[in-house]
Structure 1
């Protein structure tokens, strides 16, 4: 038979159709196994450096928790945890339940905290009396949801901590008796939806990776070689912790921005992570963590924009977001390993 369709022999059209179906099926299978199926944990690793700085922030936009040398932190699905205190499980909101951060209130970076007992924090700030917060008392009853709020558009519910905390933070942030509320994340798992910009950049992101009140994911890693390269371009060096990462890697070889290509990452003996997205930057790193002053020249963000913007996105990239794939404990000085 020589019947044709669209000018092509019927047999040829059938063959082409079968080829298209096979190609689509093969691609779908590849994507399923690469991105959607639970990936097996790698067995072979290569050491590339050490965890030089480990930071932990009980209050979103506050200063990092004071950690004694050798302190081990637990890595679980919600983020870093020390005893009963969890990373970024506290957040400030205004009277309309809108999130407050150091982007709008730079003096927040001077709010310090230290561990008194396994469940109790001492909180302090310039010209303020000390404030104690016992997490065990917050959670002694079944968690109750008092407010609906959001982290950059990602909706999340939260629990109000109490009037005495609201007054303390209102006085410090606004110099008023009211206007600020301290809220707590009481859930044992992630409830915040994936942010749209992250969802558009990766297939690796999972619903359980969004953390507590974190901007995007429960873990973020910085390469100190990348910050070193950035500092060579700046009028004055930036303190690495202005990027508010959890993990700061000291590479065995000085390789700036090599983290862009990371995939599987292990820290210490057991904790395993997977890169889920690049970390795009806002104005927060422009705030000096010692003085709470904004950089007059809008650095380091201004300089980053000159060479670290990609895919027509105006927000420059430095650092990577990660999702936990295997729980474990980490401490400063641990080896950092990559998949061979």
Structure 2
């Protein structure tokens, strides 16, 4: 039997992940997932572990009021409130999208700037300012917060195990930053799924996930692997015209609650 074996949320894009036992979903995926992002102060361009591997060591915990608790080993913790309706809007760029979103203020900016050693701002994504997903995949009105392209990422546990065997060492699931992990399927079975149901919620499988150098960052230490693994191995046997694929992007059709252990049904 297929079951949901793990749930992960990333309140801050490219920050540390949270391990969850249950979570509500809204129209942008897991409640609180990647609703916050760091941007370069001058350009407004988004920052991720691709260029700033140190971000893997920035803990960001979401709270029920939509705010954020940031913590680093050097600086301790800071509480960031959800920006109100009068907050300054900052122009930001994420991939090809440009938009204006609320800035979290100067105190938050000082904290993240000190952490990265460069002038940085923290911004937040309200539901009403969400981006649309990549054209040509899914539906025209599918939306996403600050995730790269889609609200949710699914990986089969057997797929991680197969890749670990090929690389020759255990690979942490958090290295691949999924939201949903499925247990009980064959390796890469998720490549053939089109629609699934978990609990009362249906999900569309819209596109494979193209992987990058971020997979080489150790989520525990923030250090890059000298041998470029597991990205190097993925490029050898999972490469398509669109890149090295690992995991599937999903869109949820409807809201509801997920809990670890729920059965997973393949609808199509």
Give TM class, smaller chain.
over 0.9
Could you say what secondary structure the match of 2:236 adopts? coil
Say whether the 8 Å CA contact 1:222–1:248 is kept in structure 2. yes
Q: CA deviation at 1:264?
A: 0.9
Could you tell me how far apart the structure 1 residues matched to 2:19 and 2:234 are? 29
Q: Within 5 Å, which residues of 2 pair with 1:104-119?
A: 104-114=51-61, 118-119=65-66
Say whether the 8 Å CA contact 1:272–1:327 is kept in structure 2. no
Could you say what secondary structure the match of 1:103 adopts? coil
Residue 322 (structure 1) aligned to one of 245, 250, 256: 250
Could you say what secondary structure the match of 2:226 adopts? coil
1:194 aligns with 2:133: yes
- Please give the per-residue CA displacement for 1:279-321, whole angstroms capped at 9, x wherever unaligned: 11111111000000001111111000101112x33x1111101
Could you tell me how far apart the structure 2 residues matched to 1:146 and 1:184 are? 10
Could you tell me how far apart the structure 2 residues matched to 1:62 and 1:88 are? 9
- In structure 2, the residue matched to 1:129 is 76
TM-score, length-scaled by structure 2: 0.93
Q: CA deviation at 1:146?
A: 1.6
Q: CA deviation at 1:120?
A: 4.1
- Please give the per-residue CA displacement for 1:16-55, whole angstroms capped at 9, x wherever unaligned: xxxxxxxxxxxxxxxxxxxxxxxxxxxxxxxx41111100
Could you say what secondary structure the match of 2:149 adopts? coil
Could you say what secondary structure the match of 2:206 adopts? strand
- In structure 2, the residue matched to 1:98 is 45
Q: Within 5 Å, which residues of 2 pair with 1:1-340?
A: 48-65=1-18, 67=20, 70=21, 72-81=22-31, 86-95=32-41, 96-114=43-61, 118-135=65-82, 138-139=83-84, 141=85, 146-174=89-117, 179-188=119-128, 190=130, 192-195=131-134, 199=136, 202=137, 205-251=138-184, 253=185, 255-268=186-199, 270-310=200-240, 312-313=241-242, 315-339=243-267
Q: CA deviation at 1:74?
A: 1.2
Alignment RMSD (CA, Å): 1.9
Could you tell me how far apart the structure 2 residues matched to 1:116 and 1:261 are? 36
Aligned length: 267
Could you tell me how far apart the structure 2 residues matched to 1:125 and 1:66 are? 18
Q: CA deviation at 1:241?
A: 1.2
Q: CA deviation at 1:206?
A: 2.0
- Higher helix content, 1 or 2: 1
Could you say what secondary structure the match of 1:296 adopts? coil
Say whether the 8 Å CA contact 2:69–2:77 is kept in structure 1. yes
Could you tell me how far apart the structure 2 residues matched to 1:65 and 1:133 are? 17
Could you tell me how far apart the structure 2 residues matched to 1:129 and 1:318 are? 35
Could you tell me how far apart the structure 2 residues matched to 1:98 and 1:49 are? 40
- Please give the per-residue CA displacement for 1:232-273, whole angstroms capped at 9, x wherever unaligned: 10032211111111001112x4x11111110111112x1111
Say whether the 8 Å CA contact 1:210–1:216 is kept in structure 2. no
TM-score, length-scaled by structure 1: 0.74
